[in-house]
Structure 1
Amino acid sequence: MDMSVPPRPTEPRPRRRDRHGRGMRGPIAPPQVPLSVSRADAFVDLVYDSRDRLERRWPQLSEVDFLILEVPGFGPDAGGADETDDGTVPLGRVLPAQGPDRDRIVVYRRPVEIRTKSRDERALLVHEVVVEQVAELLGLAPESVDPRYGQD
């Protein structure tokens, strides 16, 4: 009687992903559905929507760069303070033009997201931050930049 071990196959068996006959898995949602938009992309859209709303009334905003950073203290504003005078983390900031750079308004994504619970709250807070920064840049009161400021 031959008790030798049979040789192992040289090729591994192909794995099957379609175990139950339901087909291959696809994406959770198609790209055109809002579910596939990341939080960061949705935040950028909110900032640009606010900018566009204000730019109709203040055309000089077309000459201002709007930046979205995660948190204060990193990126183009690294030289600035990362806390306000009262010890809170800022939600936005104005960076005046220097040399070849244009005026910039920075909105910080994470501090805004932490202070809001829903998309609607976030949209309102983003718009308030943008209005406040535009008002500071133009040397005006926020109510004169957007008459609906603080009423929402």
Structure 2
Amino acid sequence: MAWRRGKWSAPPVRAARRPDRHGRHGRADRSPVVRPPLPPLDTRIERFDLAVGTAAEFLRSAWPELRDVRFEIADMPAASDDDGIPRWRVSVDDKRITLYRIPIERLGPLHRSDDLHHRMMVEGAVFRAAAEYLDRDPWDLGPERFRYF
């Protein structure tokens, strides 16, 4: 006992030191809340957007008539026409080419189901839609691109 301000008081009690393996609340260590960074998700929609974007940029750089044209992506057309389900719609007055993702992906013929052939199918649809916009043959749009085949 110690003397303080005229009264007897007990020495201050210090808390027992916890072992280092315990956390702030006396519990054992837990796994961290934040995981290590995960690789970015690679979805079918993102791959479709990337294929359309790269083909559109190639066509814009090769053809000045396409520089002001907007390439848009929609899931499905509003309705089918006499020829079946359209894969794209071209509007020359609005300077717009709309590509429909689901008909292109689901109804496009693939003789081999892998990423390369899927990308070639999507790029082919972009080339055919741009050719329809320009009223040309799709093979005329990028002859040097196909020269090695």
Change over 3 Å in CA distance of 1:22–1:131 after alignment to 2: same
In 1, are the aligned partners of 2:131 and 2:137 still within 8 Å (CA)?
Answer: yes
Q: Normalising by structure 1, what TM-score? A: 0.63
What does residue range 3-82 of structure 1 map to in structure 2 within 5 Å? 21-24=30-33, 26=35, 29=38, 33=39, 35-73=40-78, 81-82=79-80
1:122 aligns to 2:125 (yes or no)? no
In 2, are the aligned partners of 1:112 and 1:122 still within 8 Å (CA)?
Answer: no
1:104 aligns to 2:102 (yes or no)? no
| Corresponding residue for residue 139 of structure 2 | 143
Residues 63-91 of structure 1 deviation map (CA, whole Å, 9 limit, x = unaligned): 10111000111xxxxxxx52452x3x222
Q: What is the letter of the counterpart of residue 35 of structure 2?
A: G
Which ranges of structure 1 fall in alignment gaps of 5 or more residues? 1-18, 74-80
Residues 75-109 of structure 1 deviation map (CA, whole Å, 9 limit, x = unaligned): xxxxxx52452x3x222221221xxxx31111111
Which ranges of structure 2 fall in alignment gaps of 5 or more residues? 1-27
In 1, are the aligned partners of 2:105 and 2:122 still within 8 Å (CA)?
Answer: no
Q: Residue 67 of structure 2 aligns to a residue in which SS? A: helix
Instruction: Give identity over the alignment, percent.
Output: 28
In 2, are the aligned partners of 1:84 and 1:90 still within 8 Å (CA)?
Answer: no
Q: What is the letter of the counterpart of residue 144 of structure 1?
A: D
Displacement after TM superposition at 1:146 (Å): 2.3
Task: Please give the alpha-carbon distance, in whole angstroms, between the structure 2 residues aligned to 1:20 and 1:60.
Answer: 64
**RMSD between aligned alpha carbons?**
2.7
Task: Please give the alpha-carbon distance, in whole angstroms, between the structure 2 residues aligned to 1:120 and 1:20.
Answer: 47
Q: Which runs of 4+ in 1 moved over 6 A?
A: none
Residues 42-82 of structure 1 deviation map (CA, whole Å, 9 limit, x = unaligned): 32121110011112210221110111000111xxxxxxx52
Task: Please give the alpha-carbon distance, in whole angstroms, between the structure 1 residues aligned to 2:116 and 2:34.
Answer: 33
